[in-house]
Amino acid sequence: MSLMTGEEYVESLRKLKLNIYLFGEKLSNPVDNPMLVPSRNSVKMTYDLAQIPEYQNLMTATSNLTGEKINRFTHLHQSTEDLVKKVKMQRLLGQKTASCFQRCVGMDAINAVYSTAYEVDKEYNTNYLDNITGFIKYVQKNDLTVDGAMTDPKGDRGLSPSKQADPDLFLRVVERRPDGIVVRGAKAHQTGICNSHEVLVMPTVSMRPEDKDYAVAFSVPVDTEGIMIVVGRQSCDTRKLEELSDIDVGNKNFGGMEGLVIFDDVFVPNDRIFLNGETEFAGVLVERFAGYHRQSYGGCKSGMGDVLIGAAALAAEYNGVPRKSHIKDKLIEMMHLNETLYSCGVACSCEGCKLAAGNYLVNLLLANVCKQNVTRFPYEISRLAEDIAGGLMVTMPSEKDFKNPVTGKYLEKYFKGTSSIPTEDRMKVLRLIENLCLGTAAVSYRTESMHGAGSPQAQRIMIARQGNLDHKKSLAKAITRIEE
Amino acid sequence: MSLMTGEEYVESLRKLKLNIYLFGEKLSNPVDNPMLVPSRNSVKMTYDLAQIPEYQNLMTATSNLTGEKINRFTHLHQSTEDLVKKVKMQRLLGQKTASCFQRCVGMDAINAVYSTAYEVDKEYNTNYLDNITGFIKYVQKNDLTVDGAMTDPKGDRGLSPSKQADPDLFLRVVERRPDGIVVRGAKAHQTGICNSHEVLVMPTVSMRPEDKDYAVAFSVPVDTEGIMIVVGRQSCDTRKLEELSDIDVGNKNFGGMEGLVIFDDVFVPNDRIFLNGETEFAGVLVERFAGYHRQSYGGCKSGMGDVLIGAAALAAEYNGVPRKSHIKDKLIEMMHLNETLYSCGVACSCEGCKLAAGNYLVNLLLANVCKQNVTRFPYEISRLAEDIAGGLMVTMPSEKDFKNPVTGKYLEKYFKGTSSIPTEDRMKVLRLIENLCLGTAAVSYRTESMHGAGSPQAQRIMIARQGNLDHKKSLAKAITRIEE
Amino acid sequence: MSLMTGEEYVESLRKLKLNIYLFGEKLSNPVDNPMLVPSRNSVKMTYDLAQIPEYQNLMTATSNLTGEKINRFTHLHQSTEDLVKKVKMQRLLGQKTASCFQRCVGMDAINAVYSTAYEVDKEYNTNYLDNITGFIKYVQKNDLTVDGAMTDPKGDRGLSPSKQADPDLFLRVVERRPDGIVVRGAKAHQTGICNSHEVLVMPTVSMRPEDKDYAVAFSVPVDTEGIMIVVGRQSCDTRKLEELSDIDVGNKNFGGMEGLVIFDDVFVPNDRIFLNGETEFAGVLVERFAGYHRQSYGGCKSGMGDVLIGAAALAAEYNGVPRKSHIKDKLIEMMHLNETLYSCGVACSCEGCKLAAGNYLVNLLLANVCKQNVTRFPYEISRLAEDIAGGLMVTMPSEKDFKNPVTGKYLEKYFKGTSSIPTEDRMKVLRLIENLCLGTAAVSYRTESMHGAGSPQAQRIMIARQGNLDHKKSLAKAITRIEE
Amino acid sequence: MSLMTGEEYVESLRKLKLNIYLFGEKLSNPVDNPMLVPSRNSVKMTYDLAQIPEYQNLMTATSNLTGEKINRFTHLHQSTEDLVKKVKMQRLLGQKTASCFQRCVGMDAINAVYSTAYEVDKEYNTNYLDNITGFIKYVQKNDLTVDGAMTDPKGDRGLSPSKQADPDLFLRVVERRPDGIVVRGAKAHQTGICNSHEVLVMPTVSMRPEDKDYAVAFSVPVDTEGIMIVVGRQSCDTRKLEELSDIDVGNKNFGGMEGLVIFDDVFVPNDRIFLNGETEFAGVLVERFAGYHRQSYGGCKSGMGDVLIGAAALAAEYNGVPRKSHIKDKLIEMMHLNETLYSCGVACSCEGCKLAAGNYLVNLLLANVCKQNVTRFPYEISRLAEDIAGGLMVTMPSEKDFKNPVTGKYLEKYFKGTSSIPTEDRMKVLRLIENLCLGTAAVSYRTESMHGAGSPQAQRIMIARQGNLDHKKSLAKAITRIEE
């Protein structure tokens, strides 16, 4: 059996010797660190739901490599139906965690690397397909969480990797040995890195021949020597450290995390290398990973959107105004925008195609259209949620003030909405909206929607490239009877 | 063989004795009337393309009723794949005609009536399924074009059918005879009515028991006694009547048409009745037809959008500015919006489901989301096209001025854009953009996008109903640990 | 007394020997040509209202040159109050004509040329200020309408005037004589040219030394030898020629017109020259004229918007749905957007400043912001109007069908909305909305909003230049305590 | 001399015996509490700038009551020029503090109460004008900061004050005594209450006769017996308490604060009462205060916008991409939107009018239009800022990690952007953007933009009321020649 329970997953993390820094200190027990526990719980949900029969159609798949039942997050997509199920699974997890559950990057990375490795091998007679296949089998068998690491620090955005003042601003091979390579550099914004077993590194841009040392893909365990993680801080992050913060924290149990991963001369053995100097394939790999990941957001963000819409509807109810026409209209607009995101996620999936390696790729044009909408609609959904919530969302005193005997009774009295609803429930809902619009989850629902899987302009470049403007010009010429 | 050629289709129209009025006169030969020819050509394209092998995968299907190869416009959708192909077919036709090709309403109507008839029969032991099945076989065998007629004049929108000052403002049964019924009323905005063989009438709103006489569905030939058609006028319609109007007309060969169809005590034989007084099914039928037709717009409008985007790209090229970053960015935005519409059309199709009768229905929530976007994005695409086109689109002199020997040489000289492009080509492209943004095709690309298959508010009501807000509230409660 | 009555204005036009072509023919009596009469009436309104005491505060001013009471359209603005009154006058005229009243370009041109002439004289010891002052006195004394002509055909937009394949694609001096200059070229999109006494020509872009012959400004009577006008065609223009078109035309009495004005070696006497080769002032002149004219649109377009909003409100009322919350909300949104345009028009006026020549200029940053909003909001207001109007706006049969005894009674019956309102009134309102959204007035309300006074990108360039980003960077550095 | 220095202002706060709770504890020294110091500094800036000659034209005015030079925040506006200067002063302070400077509510309150008192006196022969005049003189003379307190908790939003389950959910008179009244209730979202000398209470809704006890306006010192303040928590608030938080806090020196103010049977002497039971004037007072305050946002939010735009421009520069066309275009869009807000603030000011009492009121329609735009554009400006900033804004490790010797060198290395810029400067700018988009200042820049001075729907109701739709209908009827 290749599926871990949630508890087994947490235990498996304990065995890792991760080198993690947070707030200027090295963490001795990251697994139970209160700043990181919610993010661990979100990943854990990908294991928990896979155990529940009603969700297994979405959460699990049958491995084409081994024939075994595996978690879908470790699966090579075998059909457009698989691609659609991926999106539905992500929406489900967004609904259950109201946060980033972090495991998608690994799924998207193995699918991109696998198909690219096949094509590199064809061209160069390398054996990357064997390497990545072996790796994927290992991941499937042990039900591992893989961090797919793409984004380099990039330094001056106007310069290519080999032209940077500091050559390490893109991750690169610094030494080639008979048994493997040594790499140096860093990957930024690594979602879920503290909750992962493996880190699968890929290049982050198209490259030219002079960038040979930068065209490298591989995977190593996250606790490999030379890897250091520095956790990024999120808006409102320290509320998780406060006493009496069951409510103020907004989403007590779930969250995301991001970190900078530093590779300080890390050794990668030969059988874990998936690309090594074949520069013209860097762009292919980036484009595919980005395509898969832009599809992903049609799922996870619509799931988070469902929770935010539900919270806004509750806030309206607790304020006593659920029947007002402008409130209903705003909730409809939120649902409309949210389902448009989901539609785009579904469409790029069912319009996907089979690659030479045998696994399926999303329709790249539609996946980029999907993500472009994701850079807009969650912002408007948030704005409407803040509209419905009312100003109390950001002026409400702390939980401690509610517990204080002097002030508590006044707060109970004056923050009462509809008389049948406990004031505490109203607080909880407002804090959840705050969490998603301004707090820790806003990092995922807003900024990640903007920049995750590539910033908006990256999608626009792909839409220009994939949109086939010449065909459209021909159509217009045919209608106007202009000769080509 | 159940497929007509385009020419056979045109001949078949000549055999009809249609009672059509236009500009205050009864038309003796509507088929060749220059005001209507372009609309006939657009329907003809649905026949022409079905003859071309490369398009037959989309344009034809195998009838589940007869096993024969039929035009997809007469097909009962047998799978979600069929639903997706429908959308692709519509996009193709939008690209080829840059106008409304009018045959969708019939396809959407037979699918809606068929599945509803099945359910009415189950409830009331009626034999509507036999009637509609017989009708569909007849349509398939003869490859007919069917006008699906839904929208009643409605009078005072605040009043239900039986409460109107004039009882005929919704179409109704005025006499019940042993061999059939007699109906009176009208249907407005009937797209393609002059180019159709049959008119399939359906109710337009949900009804209550007192509206029994209004809950009626049936089909009759368009030239049945008592039917009168008055053609609606479109923006710029009379350019089609001008001499020397090859260019000014914008789209010489294709167009749409709409008309008011008046039923002045028309007899309907029993075997052509598909609903007759079962008021509680009126709403079901409306909802399904609207669902199918809201899906349709994800196809046809993205096809028209392709032509408009292509025309805008040509206009930029002819103006000498195709490389300007703001022009490129606007074209990207147009493609992005257009593909979002298409994505919504695809998504509601592949998320469709099988009905009790056996044919497939789109996902109603997503179909309404699709149409809601259609009420917005073509307007923004038009705006961007007008931006790129420049003011000349609406200040350019007439074709006659170009042909006049005195003025012609000046116009040639001064309306030259990029020197390699004939001034006439520039004119043609600008006139096509005018046609789509302001002219005859704007009726389809703008107003029909707004009101066809129901006005925006109708979709919002459906989104509210289908969006399952209660489930979203439960999700938010689970995250905040509020007890249900 | 320097004010003409409307009738005197029309008579004054009859005295001009204009060389006008329309639909391939030279017009013998343009003043009474039914295609042009509505546009003449709109200009006439600027004379009519100036005669009515209640409007004189806005419509008239006291000349700083002569001390006489003059029409404000011939005035040099003497204060920010004058600038604000200009906008209010324009809104009033937009409300009264629901079209372009064409006289603004002349007002904006004299103000721009006057202040620039002053500065050129200072630099070059020329006597342009005398020339323009003499011209303005003449215009004020005779209450003339002046066409301010800026936009050259421009050919390949990527090339400067002197680099075009055809040197005439920007208007230029082709001969310099002791008594004046001879010019050749054309001006496109000339609003109101057929209803003007004078045409005041200005350059259309910033220029470099090699463009010396193109840096020319002057005024001549519109019927000067060598001037030819070709009238542009508008959407739905020929409805004005139809019999029985009181209703279908949408706006029976008022409209706009645009034309191409060709200068085929036209002589300009010395005292009518306002710029002649001082290339570095071409940009200043363009910037000022554009600034004034971008302000203008905050007035006229909000006036047209008032009519469109009123028509939409009537349509809702006649449909029986004025109380529906979504209808009310859309009307509010239309008013909100419309008043935002007006606010921008007012703000750039009251933030105006005195120029060296003594007259007042608008705040250029805010005037460009004003116009940028004008390229967006009328489109959204139109979209909402079409939403409220319903599809009948574009499927309603012609007036002739209403008059036909066979069809008329059915149309009366079936197009009845609220029972208390005559069907004809409903038709009239829908045709007015069509006129503004798709018909002749859409040329002004939509396309002119987009491109008049410069296309959107032109404003963006000015906003970038005037927005003082460096100051904003300093503010951010001060807050973050980054040293400059 | 009626002007305090900033230092004197801070000293004056120390003399108050405020009863403030924060995080469950009563504050012994609120003036120096690190959570509140930034908000105190923002108010202090209103004193500091009034001392600097270059700003005195905006920051000070001459009292119409005493003839003395006063801070403009204590001024009764004597002209539309005063109203415009108010907006410019607010923009200036927004630029200098990048936060809410809190003193506007008092200015807006005294202007609203003064003019209303005059009208109540006329109607009822009361002496409220004397009371408020005396109060304003006292405020001017001592240069006090006044908290204008309007928003009641409101309980069930569907119920009027006297219909609430708890009668105290709107503040009310609970006892009437010969020398004054005793009031009970609370005011929510009180911006700047901890930094104010006086609290001026007003009703929050229109009222009917049965709400007599709720129609009350008065002022008392903030440290009056019975007043308790509970400070609200903001996003990221506790970063101000962290060691080594010069950078992470985003805006070290400035901020806003909001609190719940509880009136637990507070005595108000007769000469401090400005309304007491004259229910029909409650609506007038609310409308005026809201009008003034909706104008205010056109100033302060455009000032904050300036800082955010500047920060985004710096971020682009530090990323090495300031010349990319899409970056420039986004900055232009941000400036465009920001100047539109400012234009609306200016327009409602210069279109203001004199009230019966002698002071000036803004144009209410345009002030509501102003605020309605404020509920939208700062959200879009924030979205664009987040786009330009990049994901690092929310994944950057803490300042402590930068200071840690192990991790610091890596962070320095890998977070380097353009090589000429210190990594720390890049961090600072990103943290400022985070502060404005997600952190403490987002409470002001986003949520207060939404709900301050009334939620969006409140403005829409006013726009409907003030928009004069009937006049617009008449205009449309005149154009279509429909008889009234």
The CATH code of the domain that includes C135 is 2.40.110.10
Cβ separation C343–D339 shorter than 8 A = no
Q: What is the pLDDT of residues D274-297, one digit of tens each?
A: 999 999 999 999 999 999 999 999
Report the residue of chain D nearest C302, measured CA to CA.
D472
Digit-coded pLDDT (tens) for A384-412: 999 999 999 999 999 999 999 999 999 99
Query: Given C230, C392, C455, which is nearest B407 (Cβ)?
Result: C230
Break chain D down into helix, strand, coil percent, rounded to 5: 55, 15, 30
What pLDDT score was predicted for residue A321?
A: 83
Q: Could you say which of A46, A293, A342, A370 is catalytic?
A: A293
Question: CATH code at B452?
Answer: 1.20.140.10
The pLDDT, as a whole number, for residue D418 is 87
pLDDT of C320 > 90? The answer is: no
pLDDT tens-digit series, residues C243-301: 877 999 999 999 999 999 999 999 999 999 999 999 999 999 999 999 999 999 999 99
All residues of chain B having their beta carbon less than 8 Å from the beta carbon of residue C323 are: 158
Tell me which residue in C431, C464, C478 faces D328 most closely, judged by beta carbons.
Answer: C464
**CA proximity to A347, closest of B80, B371, B91, B343:** B343
Answer yes or no: is pLDDT of C41 > 80: yes
Residue C221 pLDDT more than 80? yes
Residue from D414, D426, D445 to probe the interface with A (highest A Cβ count within 10 Å): D414
Cα–Cα nearest to D117, from D128, D131, D126, D130: D128
Catalytic status, residue A293: yes
Backbone angles phi, psi at A71, to 5 degrees: -70, 135
C344 and C266 in one domain? no
Is residue C433's pLDDT more than 70? Answer: yes
**Residue D297 annotated to the active site:** yes
Active site residue B258: yes
CA distance B237 to B253: 13
Q: Which of A223, A251, A280 is the last residue of a domain?
A: A280
Within 8 A of C242 by CB-CB distance, chain B residues are 238
Q: Do C464 and D98 touch (CB under 8 A)?
A: no
CB-count burial class (<10 Å; 0-12, 13-18, 19+) for B223: middle
How much is the mean pLDDT over chain A?
Answer: 97
In the residue annotation, D407 being an active-site residue is answered as no
Task: Name the minimum distance, in Å, from the CA of D326 to any CA of chain B.
Answer: 8
Q: Tell me the mean pLDDT in the region A63-84.
A: 98
Q: For an interface test with D, give the residue of A154, A171, A230, A329 to mutate (most D CBs within 10 A).
A: A230
Tokens (6 digits) for A264: 């300080």
Whether residue A407 and residue D228 make contact (CB cut-off 8 A), yes or no, is yes
How high is the pLDDT of residue D365? 98
The burial class, CB within 10 Å (0-12 / 13-18 / 19+), for A214 is: buried
Is the torsion defined by CA of D250, D251, D253, D254 positive or negative? Answer: negative
* B103 shares its domain with B45: yes
| CA distance readout (Å), D57 to B12, C79, D50, D53, D92 | 83, 21, 9, 8, 12
What single-letter DSSP state applies at residue B74?
G
Residues D234 and D272 in one domain: yes
Q: C6-25, pLDDT tens digit by residue?
A: 999 999 999 999 999 999 99
In the prediction, which pLDDT does C244 show?
A: 77
Given this model, what pLDDT does residue A1 score?
56
CA dist A129 and D368 (Å) reads 64
Whether A400 is covered by a domain: the verdict is: yes
Q: What's the domain range around B339?
A: 284-470
pLDDT at D1: 56
Q: Which residue among D191, D204, D279, D375 is the active-site one?
A: D191
| pLDDT band for position A157 (cuts 50, 70, 90) | confident
Within chain B, which residues score under 70 in pLDDT?
1
pLDDT at residue A16 above 90? yes
Q: Whole-angstrom Cα distance, residue D277 to residue A448?
A: 53
Residue C484 inside a domain? The answer is no
Alpha helices of B98-218 — where are they, by DSSP H? 104-124, 128-142
pLDDT at B346: 98
Residue A76 is given by DSSP the state P
Give the model's pLDDT for residue D273.
98
Chains in contact with D, where contact means 3 or more Cβ–Cβ distances below 8 Å, are A, B, C
CA torsion angle B48 B49 B54 B55 (round to 10): -150
Contacts of A307 in chain B (CB under 8 A): 472, 475-476, 479
Q: C: neighbours with 3+ CB pairs under 8 Å?
A: A, B, D
Crossing angle between the packed helical segments B423-437 and B377-389, to the nearest 10 degrees:
150
Residues 69-88 of D with CB under 8 A from C: 84
Residue-wise pLDDT tens digits, A255-275:
999 999 999 999 999 999 999
Q: State whether residue D407 sits within 8 Å of chain A by CB.
A: yes
Whether chain A has a CB inside 8 Å of the CB on D189: the answer is yes
Helix, strand, coil % over all residues of chain B, rounded to 5: 55, 15, 30
DSSP state of B374: H
* Rounded distance between C-alpha atoms, residue C434 and residue C427, angstroms: 10
C261 and C366 belong to one structural domain:
no
CB contact (8 A) between residue B438 and residue C442: yes
Q: Which residues of C touch A329 (CB under 8 A)?
A: 325-326, 329
Three-class secondary structure of residue B199 per DSSP: strand
Q: Do A188 and D418 touch (CB under 8 A)?
A: no
Asked if C168 has any chain B CB less than 8 Å from its own CB, the reply is yes
Cβ within 8 Å of B, A 87-146: 95-98
- Whether residues A209 and A358 share a domain: the answer is no
User: Does A345 contact chain D (CB < 8 Å)?
Assistant: no
Q: Is residue B477 part of a domain?
A: no
Claim to verify: residue A344 and residue A404 sit in the same structural domain: yes
Note whether residue A176 is domain-resident: yes
Taking residues C313-333, report their average pLDDT. Answer: 94
Cβ of D26 under 8 Å from any chain B Cβ? no
Model confidence pLDDT, tens digit, residues C120-170:
999 999 999 999 999 999 999 999 999 999 999 998 888 899 999 999 999
Query: What is the gyration radius of the CA atoms in chain B, in angstroms?
Result: 23
Which chain C residue shows the shortest CA-CA distance from D315? C473
For the stretch B380-411, pLDDT in tens is: 999 999 999 999 999 999 999 999 999 999 99
Say whether residue C464 is in contact with chain D using an 8 A CB cutoff.
yes
B interface mutation test: which of A336, A436, A480 has the most B CBs within 10 A? A480
Is residue A479 assigned to a domain? no
Between CA D318 and CA D326, with CA D321 as vertex, the angle to 5 degrees is: 135
Same domain flag for D276 and D150: yes
Domain count across chain B? 2
| Residue in D379, D416, D419 nearest the CB of A383 | D379
Tell me, yes or no, whether C258 and C152 share the same domain. Answer: yes
CA of residue C483 relative to chain centroid, distance: 48
Domain C-terminal end among C243, C265, C280 = C280
Are residues D106 and D201 located together in one domain of the fold?
Answer: yes
Q: Do C294 and C347 form a contact (C-beta atoms < 8 A)?
A: no
Instruction: Return the HEC string of chain C.
Output: CCCCCHHHHHHHHHCCCCCEEECCEECCCHHHCCCCHHHHHHHHHHHHHHHCHHHHHHHEEECCCCCCEEEHHHCCCCCHHHHHHHHHHHHHHHHHHCCCCCCHHHHHHHHHHHHHHHHHHHHHCCCHHHHHHHHHHHHHHHCCCEEEECCCCCCCCCCCHHHCCCHHHCCEEEEEECCEEEEEEEECCCCCHHHCCEEEECCCCCCCHHHHHHCEEEEEECCCCCEEEEECCCCCHHHHHCCCCCCCCCCCCCCCCCEEEEEEEEEEEHHHEEEECCHHHHHHHHHHHHHHHHHHHHHHHHHHHHHHHHHHHHHHHHCCCCCCHHHHHHHHHHHHHHHHHHHHHHHHHHCCEECCCCCEECCHHHHHHHHHHHCCHHHHHHHHHHHHHCCHHHHCCCHHHHHCHHHHHHHHHHCCCCCCCCHHHHHHHHHHHHHHHCCHHHHHHHHHHHHCCCCHHHHHHHHHHHCCHHHHHHHHHHHHCCCC
Dihedral through CA C357, CA C363, CA C368, CA C369, nearest 10? -170
pLDDT of residue C1: 56
Q: How confident is the model at residue A19 (pLDDT cuts 50, 70, 90)?
A: very high
pLDDT of residue D243: 87
What is the share, in percent, of chain A residues with pLDDT greater than 90? Answer: 96
* Parallel, antiparallel or unpaired: strands D69-71 and A273-276: unpaired
Domain shared by B186 and B63, yes or no: yes
Clarify whether residues A464 and A354 are in a common domain. yes
Query: CA–CA separation, D59 vs D85, rounded Å?
Result: 8
* Tokens encoding B383: 């705006």
The pLDDT of residue B90 is 98
Residue B427 CB contacts under 8 Å (≥ 6 apart), including other chains: B247, B396, B399, B402, B415
A364 and A244 within one domain: no
Cβ–Cβ below 8 Å for B469 and A373: no
Reference C388, options B455, B48, B397, A31; nearest CA is B455
Q: Do C450 and B387 touch (CB under 8 A)?
A: yes
In a domain, C483, yes or no: no
Q: Is B100 left (phi over 0), alpha (psi -120 to 50) or beta?
A: beta
Residue A376 class from Cβ within 10 Å (0-12 exposed, 13-18 middle, 19+ buried)? middle
Is residue D104 part of the annotated active site? The answer reads yes
Among residues B194, B236, B300, B370, which one is catalytic? B300
Phi, psi angles (nearest 5°) of residue A43: -65, -40
Is B182 an 8 Å CB contact of chain C? no
Question: Residue B180 and residue A95: Cα distance in Å, rounded?
Answer: 54
Domain boundary among D254, D280, D306: D280
pLDDT score of B1: 56
Digit-coded pLDDT (tens) for D319-335: 988 889 999 999 999 99
| Residues 366-385 in C contacting D (C-alpha not used; CB under 8 Å) | 366, 369-370, 372-373
Within a domain: C482: no
Identify the active-site residue in B297, B318, B342, B360.
B297
Distance from CA of A394 to the nearest CA of D (A): 6
**Residues D114, D128, D292, D297: which is the catalytic one?**
D297
Dihedral pair phi/psi, residue D360, rounded to 5°: -100, 140
Q: What is the pLDDT of residues A98-140, one digit of tens each?
A: 999 999 999 999 999 999 999 999 999 999 999 999 999 999 9
- pLDDT attached to residue D218: 98
Catalytic residue from among A60, A197, A236, A300: A300
Q: In 3D, which of D483, D478, D474 has the Cα closest to residue C310? A: D474
Q: Within a domain: residue C476?
A: no
User: Which residues 274-333 in chain D show a CB within 8 A of chain C?
Assistant: 306-311, 313-314, 317, 328-329, 331-332
pLDDT tens sequence across A37-69:
999 999 999 999 999 999 999 999 999 999 999
